[in-house]
Amino acid sequence: MRHRIAVIGGGPAGLTFARVLHRHDHPVTVFERDPAPDARPPGGTLDLHENLGQRALGKAGLLAEFQALSRPEGQAMRILDTDGTVLRDWKPRPDDRANPEIDRGQLRDLLLGPLDVQWGRKVTEVVPVTRDGVLVNFADGRQETFDLVVGADGAWSRVRPAVSSATPQYTGVTLVETSLDDVDTRHPGLARLIGDGSMAVYGVNRALVAQRNSGGHVKVYAQFRAPLDWHTHLDGLDLADAEAVRSSVPALFDGWAAPVLDLLRRGTAFVRRPLHVLPVSHTWAHVPGVTLLGDAAHLMPPLGVGANLAMVDGAELAESVAGPGDLDEGVRAFEEQMWARAGRWAKITAAGLERLVSPDPAQALALFDEVQPS
Ligand SMILES: Cc1cc2nc3c(=O)[nH]c(=O)nc-3n(C[C@H](O)[C@H](O)[C@H](O)COP(=O)(O)OP(=O)(O)OC[C@H]3O[C@@H](n4cnc5c(N)ncnc54)[C@H](O)[C@@H]3O)c2cc1C
Residues with CB under 6 A from ligand 1: 8-14, 31-34, 44, 46-47, 122-123, 152-154, 158, 175, 273, 294-296, 302, 304-308, 310
Spell out the residues 6+ positions from residue 285 whose beta carbon is closer than 8 angstroms to its own.
163
Name which of 6, 4, 13 is nearest 296 in CA terms: 13
Ligand 1: residue of 144, 150, 218, 295 to mutate (most ligand atoms within 8 A of CB) is 295
Residue located nearest, by CA, to atom 29 of ligand 1:
11
Per-residue model confidence (pLDDT) at position 197: 97
Residue 231, pLDDT > 90, answer no
Task: Specify burial of residue 173 (Cβ count, 10 A radius: 0-12, 13-18, 19+).
Answer: buried
Per-residue pLDDT, averaged over 20-35, amounts to 97
Residue located nearest, by CA, to atom 30 of ligand 1:
154
Nearest atom, ligand 1, residue 52 CA: 11
Q: What's the gap in Å between 154 CA and the centre of ligand 1?
A: 5
DSSP string over 129-143: EETTEEEEEETTS-E
Q: What's the gap in Å between 294 CA and the centre of ligand 1?
A: 8
Per-residue model confidence (pLDDT) at position 240: 82
Q: What's the gap in Å between 307 CA and the centre of ligand 1?
A: 7
Reported as a pLDDT band with limits 50, 70 and 90, residue 373 is: low
- Superfamily assignment of 5-71+99-168+278-355 in CATH? FAD/NAD(P)-binding domain (3.50.50.60)
Mean pLDDT, the chain, as a whole number? 95
Per-residue model confidence (pLDDT) at position 241: 85
Q: What is the rounded CA–CA span in Å between residue 60 and residue 55?
A: 9
Per-residue model confidence (pLDDT) at position 1: 64
Residue 235, pLDDT > 80, answer no
Spell out the residues 6+ positions from residue 135 whose beta carbon is closer than 8 angstroms to its own.
126, 127, 143, 144, 145
Model pTM score:
0.96
Render pLDDT for 71-118 as a digit per residue (tens, 0 to 9). 999 999 999 999 999 999 999 998 899 999 999 999 999 999 999 999
Q: What is the rounded CA–CA span in Å between residue 209 and residue 126?
A: 38
Spell out the residues 6+ positions from residue 202 whose beta carbon is closer than 8 angstroms to its own.
79, 82, 356, 358, 361, 364, 365
Q: What's the gap in Å between 374 CA and the centre of ligand 1?
A: 31
Per-residue model confidence (pLDDT) at position 317: 98
Reported as a pLDDT band with limits 50, 70 and 90, residue 374 is: low
Q: What's the gap in Å between 163 CA and the centre of ligand 1?
A: 20
Render pLDDT for 165-180 as a digit per residue (tens, 0 to 9). 999 999 999 999 999 9
DSSP string over 81-137: -TTS-EEEEE---TT--SS-EEEHHHHHHHHHTT--EETT--EEEEEEEETTEEEEE
Per-residue model confidence (pLDDT) at position 54: 98
Q: Beta strands 148-151 and 290-292: pairing type?
A: parallel
The amino acid at 157: S
The dihedrals phi and psi of 137, each to the nearest 5 degrees, come to -100, 135
User: CA 291 → CA 54, 128, 205, 333, distances in Å?
Assistant: 23, 10, 37, 12
**Contact criterion met (CB below 8 Å) for 346 and 297:** no
Reported as a pLDDT band with limits 50, 70 and 90, residue 237 is: confident
Per-residue model confidence (pLDDT) at position 130: 77
CATH architecture of 169-276: 2-Layer Sandwich (3.30)
Per-residue model confidence (pLDDT) at position 333: 96
Q: What is the rounded CA–CA span in Å between residue 180 and residue 231?
A: 22
Q: What's the gap in Å between 87 CA and the centre of ligand 1?
A: 32
Of 193-197, 257-261, 265-269, the range with the lowest mean pLDDT is 265-269
Residue 304, pLDDT > 70, answer yes
Render pLDDT for 10-22 as a digit per residue (tens, 0 to 9). 999 999 999 999 9
If one counts every other C-beta atom within 10 angstroms of the C-beta of residue 197, the result is 23
Ligand 1: residue of 29, 45, 46, 303 to mutate (most ligand atoms within 8 A of CB) is 46
Residue 320, pLDDT > 90, answer yes
Q: What is the rounded CA–CA span in Å between residue 318 and residue 309?
A: 14
Reported as a pLDDT band with limits 50, 70 and 90, residue 372 is: confident
Reported as a pLDDT band with limits 50, 70 and 90, residue 232 is: confident
Q: Beta strands 143-146 and 101-103: pairing type?
A: unpaired
Q: What is the rounded CA–CA span in Å between residue 340 and residue 36?
A: 35
Render pLDDT for 270-284 as a digit per residue (tens, 0 to 9). 999 999 999 999 999
Ligand 1: residue of 17, 31, 32, 107 to mutate (most ligand atoms within 8 A of CB) is 32
Residue 323, pLDDT > 70, answer yes
Domain boundaries, the chain: 5-71+99-168+278-355, 169-276
